[in-house]
């Protein structure tokens, strides 16, 4: 039988890995849009900020549960930023996506904002609610049928690709 401490560590790491998988999944979607126009750009940047705020929170919890070190903040921050860089490199291989240094800076701002609030907060576990509000506001939970603007079918046909939205949203 697993003890509570081991179970807590396992759950924390599973949540962290799940969150990283969600980031990877959304980074794999060609021409991902939340809405139209300038508001799409703003909402996507808020999403970048929020996603990496949450990642640093989850990594911090996982690392501190596993190893109560005075370098927990350093390790969670370093790994969050390295994951942001690897995410941008990954997007460079996704059709219609590209590497963006600006996105890395925005991701890093989310990471460092978590650290700032962690130092200021008497209740660091409540920080997740702040980032979840950002995430909901940014539209990351919008269903497929509201995120329909993608590359035209002709362009997908030229590249011999099937649109993610055609597969997922028409089922």
And the tokens for 139? Answer: 């539209």
pTM above 0.85, yes or no: no
pLDDT level of residue 119 (50, 70, 90 thresholds): confident
Residue 123 burial by Cβ neighbours in a 10 Å radius (0-12, 13-18, 19+): exposed
Q: Which letter does DSSP use for residue 126 in this model?
A: G
Bigger pLDDT: 105 or 166?
105
Q: What's the pLDDT tens digit per position in 4-51?
A: 688 888 888 999 999 999 999 989 988 877 667 777 788 888 888 989
CA distance 49 to 110: 4
Listing DSSP states for 40-102 in one string gives HHHHHHHHHHHHHHHHHHHHHHHHHHH---TTHHHHHHHHHHHHHHHHHHHHTTSTT----HH
Q: Which letter does DSSP use for residue 121 in this model?
A: -
Which CB contacts under 8 angstroms, 24+ apart, belong to 65-68?
65/5, 65/8, 65/9, 65/12, 66/9, 66/12, 66/13
Task: Note whether 105 and 81 are within 8 A (CB).
Answer: no
Q: Is the pLDDT of residue 144 over 70?
A: no
Q: What's the pLDDT tens digit per position in 70-112?
A: 788 899 999 999 999 999 999 999 988 889 899 999 999 999 9
């Amino acid at each position: 039988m697993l003890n509570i401490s081991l179970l807590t560590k396992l759950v924390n790491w599973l949540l962290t890995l799940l969150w990283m998988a969600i980031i990877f999944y959304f980074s794999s979607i060609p021409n991902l849009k939340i809405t139209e126009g300038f508001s799409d750009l703003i909402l996507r940047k808020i999403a970048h900020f929020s996603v990496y705020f949450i990642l640093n929170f989850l990594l911090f919890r996982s690392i501190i549960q596993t190893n109560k070190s005075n370098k927990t903040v350093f390790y969670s921050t370093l790994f969050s930023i390295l994951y942001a860089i690897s995410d941008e490199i990954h997007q460079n291989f996704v059709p219609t996506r590209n590497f963006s240094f600006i996105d890395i800076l925005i991701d890093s701002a989310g990471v460092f904002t978590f650290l700032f609030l962690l130092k200021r907060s008497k209740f660091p576990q409540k920080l997740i609610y702040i980032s979840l509000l950002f995430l909901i506001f940014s539209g990351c939970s919008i269903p497929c049928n509201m995120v329909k603007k993608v590359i035209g079918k002709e362009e997908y046909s030229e590249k011999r690709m099937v649109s993610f939205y055609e597969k997922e949203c028409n089922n």
